[in-house]
């Protein structure tokens, strides 16, 4: 066993576990503050791999993510490698489409960005900082909260090392190792909820990608299930099919599959291609979707979990990464506030973030229903029209839910509160209108 102490830091030292999107951003933010930071990632360096399998190929980047990227100076570069999506393009079962613009008042967009590109760009930024040391192929295997030491194993050599730092951050994803050690301590509550729908990634190749209306997030809403497509820079589209596991299991052979697609997604089938569809579908298994909540993210004044490790959510609001980036933004703000008092910072992080993270986990769950079902309902269309109209008249007061989540940094819980009072006002106004009309009818009849 090698005992390993970090070199004396410039001011303070930090360790980040997990070099995914959130971990690699966090490393740069801390290094910028003068922390000497070591990143431990169990996998190899993604920049040396052809592709990262098993995860969505592109993601929707929105305001919260952008503001964190701005802090490390790569917002503009990231946007220049992305494709703007100004609205949803809904495909009905007959192949007719309808565009629903996210923000008809001020034309704000979300952006489709490659996961691999972004992860590589973040690691490049981190690596350029002399305060950063990147250690790939190192897996967190043990944590001693009393002494503050953690144990890592080198995947390549099998060597074990023990180390510590002033601040130890777990950005090690939904199945976080650091969190699993926290879960064994008293008063740490945790919930994990797998939904009974899974997802499978398909693709529309570049040569047929031009047939889809550009600059939109395409949705094929089908009540019990849905398919979406996000654009890539090479003109291809990443298509994700979300449906109950039972439905996935019921499609057993090519005939079933083509029949299903012809029935449910007739306009998408020629774009994906029959042969390609069969290959994708039968050579991959649907992945599960999980929502995770914890009652705290800090431990012993030194340890903190962020990103999916703290609050994994189902992907239907396109906020998992954005919320994880916002964690980094918030951490930076709290470190400013406490003047780098790490103990107070970790406690304050839980205090400020936990309600918000729970709120976005709930919103993400709600949005699945909106995307696969509610968007097709007349009530949704009417609400969208009313929201647009009222947002035009009262731009500072009437902020529709989607806008507050995706185009602002309003606390997520406040976004929900806003939606509630807006619902109440609309409900009261409609009730009043009906009452006035009914009274008029009665009066007119009496005359
Ligand atoms: C289908 C799908 C679509 C999505 N779309 C969007 C979207 O449009 N917009 C959006 O904002 N979000 C989206 N998300 C969510 C987003 O992918 C996640 O929120 C984000 O990737 C979380 O990043 P992370 O760094 O916290 O975790 P991860 O990306 O899971 O990274 C964790 C890292 O930790 C490493 N690690 C794990 N255990 C250890 C260990 N013991 N020791 C060392 N290293 C370890 C892993 O190898 C990994 O590199 C989507 C998710 C899915 C599933």
Mean pLDDT of 125-135: 97
- Ligand 1 pocket test, pick from 43, 219, 308, 406 with the greatest ligand atom count within 8 Å of Cβ, gives 308
- From ligand 1's centre to the CA of 65, what distance in Å? 14
pLDDT, mean of residues 327-355: 98
> To test ligand 1's pocket by mutation, which of 140, 315, 322, 325 has the most ligand atoms within 8 angstroms of CB?
315
Atom nearest to 306 CA in ligand 1: 26
What's the pLDDT score for residue 373? 77
Average pLDDT value for residue range 276-298: 97
What's the pLDDT band for 261 if we cut at 50, 70, 90? very high
Q: Which of 15, 20, 116 to mutate to test the pocket of ligand 1 (most atoms within 8 A of CB)?
A: 20
Q: What is the mean pLDDT of the chain?
A: 94
Measuring from atom 9 of ligand 1, which residue has the nearest CA? 318
Distance (angstroms) between ligand 1 centre and the Cα of 320 equals: 8
Show the CA angle centred on residue 230, arms to residues 24 and 64, nearest 5°. 45
Shortest-distance atom of ligand 1 to CA 23:
25
Instruction: List residues near ligand 1 (CB under 6 A).
Output: 17-23, 40-43, 56, 59-60, 139-140, 171-173, 177, 199, 240, 307-309, 315, 318-322, 324
Ligand 1 centroid–CA 221 distance in Å is 26
> What atom of ligand 1 comes closest to residue 141's alpha carbon?
41
Average pLDDT over residues 410-417: 97
Closest by CA position to 328, among listed 114, 25, 59? 25
Q: What is the pLDDT of residue 2?
A: 39
- Residue with CA at minimum distance from ligand 1 atom 38: 172
Please report, rounded to a whole number, the percentage of residues in the chain having pLDDT higher than 90. 86
Q: Does the pLDDT at position 307 exceed 90?
A: yes
Q: What is the pLDDT of residues 23-60, one digit of tens each?
A: 999 999 999 999 999 999 999 999 998 655 445 589 99
pLDDT in tens, 346-367: 999 999 999 999 999 999 998 8
What separation in Å is there between the alpha carbon of 173 and the centre of ligand 1? 5
Mean pLDDT of 228-238: 96
Mutate to test the pocket of ligand 1, among 17, 18, 39 (most ligand atoms within 8 A of CB): 18
Q: Residue 389 Cα, ligand 1 centroid: separation in angstroms?
A: 37
Q: From the CA of 324, give the closest atom in ligand 1.
A: 26
3-class DSSP string for the chain: CEECCCCCCCCCEEEEECCCHHHHHHHHHHHHCCCEEEEECCCCCHHHCCCCCCCCCEEEECHHHHHHHHHCCCHHHHHHCEEEECEEEEECCCCCEEEEECCCCCCCCEEEEEHHHHHHHHHHHHHHCCCEEEECCEEEEEEECCCCEEEEEECCCCCEEEECCCEEEECCCCCCHHHHHHCCCCCCCEEEEEEEEEEEEEEECHHHHCCCCCCEEEEEEECCEEEEEEECCCCCEEEEEEEEHHHHHHCCCHHHHHHHHHHHCCCCHHHHCHHHHHHHHHHCCCEEEEEEEECCCEECCCEEECCHHHHCCCHHHCCHHHHHHHHHHHHHHHHHHCCCCHHHHHHHHHHHHHHHHHHHHHHHHHHHHHHHCHHHCHHHHHHHHHHHHHHHHCCCCCCCHHHHHHCCCCCHHHHHHHHHHHHHHHHHHHHHHHHHHHHHHHHHHHC
Closest ligand 1 atom to 60 CA: 8
Average pLDDT over residues 79-97: 96
Please say if the pLDDT value at position 17 is more than 50: yes
Q: What is the pLDDT of residue 56?
A: 58
| For the CA of 176, the nearest atom of ligand 1 | 38
Say what the pLDDT of residue 51 is.
59
**pLDDT score recorded for residue 54:** 46
Instruction: Note the pLDDT of residue 368.
Output: 86
């Amino acid at each position: 066993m090698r005992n390993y102490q970090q070199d004396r830091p410039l001011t303070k030292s930090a360790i980040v576990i997990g070099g995914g999107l959130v971990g690699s951003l966090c490393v740069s933010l801390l290094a910028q503050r003068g922390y000497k930071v070591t990143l431990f990632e169990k996998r190899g360096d993604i920049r040396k791999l052809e592709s990262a399998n098993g995860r969505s190929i592109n993601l929707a980047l929105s305001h919260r993510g952008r503001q964190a990227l701005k802090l490390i100076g790569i917002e503009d570069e990231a946007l220049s490698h992305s494709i703007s999506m100004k609205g949803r393009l809904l495909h009905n079962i007959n192949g007719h489409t309808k565009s629903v613009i996210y923000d008809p008042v001020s034309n704000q967009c979300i952006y489709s960005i490659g996961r691999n590109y972004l992860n590589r760009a973040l690691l490049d930024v981190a690596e350029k900082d002399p305060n950063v040391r990147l250690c790939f192929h190192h897996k967190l295997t043990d944590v001693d909260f009393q002494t503050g030491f953690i144990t890592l194993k080198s995947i390549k050599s099998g060597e074990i090392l023990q180390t510590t730092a002033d601040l130890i951050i777990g950005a090690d994803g939904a199945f976080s190792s650091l969190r699993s050690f926290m879960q064994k301590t008293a008063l740490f509550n945790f919930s994990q909820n797998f939904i009974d729908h899974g997802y499978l990634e398909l693709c529309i190749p570049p040569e047929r990608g031009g047939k889809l209306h550009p600059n939109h997030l395409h949705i094929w809403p089908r009540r019990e299930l849905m398919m979406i497509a996000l654009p890539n820079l090479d003109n291809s589209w990443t298509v994700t099919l979300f449906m109950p596991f039972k439905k996935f299991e019921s499609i057993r052979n090519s005939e079933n599959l083509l029949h299903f697609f012809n029935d449910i997604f007739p306009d998408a089938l020629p774009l994906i291609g029959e042969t390609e569809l069969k290959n994708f579908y039968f050579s991959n298994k649907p992945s599960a979707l999980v929502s995770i909540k914890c009652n705290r993210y800090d431990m012993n004044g030194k340890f903190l979990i962020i990103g999916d490790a703290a609050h994994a959510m189902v992907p239907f609001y396109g906020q998992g990464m954005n919320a994880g980036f916002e964690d980094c933004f918030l951490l930076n703000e709290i470190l400013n506030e406490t003047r780098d008092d790490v103990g107070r910072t970790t406690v304050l992080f839980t205090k400020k973030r936990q309600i918000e993270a729970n709120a976005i986990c709930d919103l993400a769950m709600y949005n699945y229903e909106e995307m696969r079902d509610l968007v097709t309902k007349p009530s949704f269309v009417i609400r969208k029209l009313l929201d647009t109209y009222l947002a035009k008249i009262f731009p500072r007061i009437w902020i529709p839910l989607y806008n507050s989540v995706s185009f602002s940094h309003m606390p997520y819980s406040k976004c929900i509160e806003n939606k509630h009072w807006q619902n109440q006002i609309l409900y009261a106004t409609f009730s009043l209108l009906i009452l006035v009309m009914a009274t008029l009818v009665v009066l007119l009849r009496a005359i």
